[in-house]
Amino acid sequence: MAPLTSAKGSESGTARVVGSGLSGVAELIIFHPVDTVAKRLMSNKSKFTLQAANSIIFKDYATASLPKKLFSLFPGLGYAAGYKISQRIYKFGGQPYFNDLIRGTPVLRNAFVNTFGERNGKNMMHATAGSLTGIGEVVLLPLDALKIKRQTNPEAFRGRGVVQIFMEEGRTLYRGWGWTVARNAPGSFALFGGSAFTKDYVLGIEDYSKATWWQNFIASTAGAISSITVAAPLDTIKTRIQNANFETRVHGAVVVRDLIKNEGMTAFFKGLTPKVRQMNGFMS
pLDDT for res 278: 61
State the CB neighbour count (10 A cutoff) for residue 74: 13
> Which stretches in the chain have pLDDT values below 50?
1, 4-9, 282-284
Q: How many CA atoms lie within 13 A of 177 on its CB side?
A: 14
pLDDT for res 7: 45
In the chain, the N- to C-terminal Cα span, in Å, equals: 5
- Please give the share of the chain, as a percent, with pLDDT higher than 90: 69
pLDDT tens sequence across 186-242 = 999 999 999 999 999 999 998 888 889 899 889 988 998 999 999 999 999 999 999
Alpha helices in the chain (DSSP H): 13-43, 50-58, 66-71, 77-104, 106-116, 118-136, 141-152, 162-169, 177-197, 213-242, 252-262, 272-283
pLDDT for res 180: 97
pLDDT for res 6: 47
Distance CA 118, CA 112 (A): 8
pLDDT tens sequence across 254-264 = 999 999 999 99
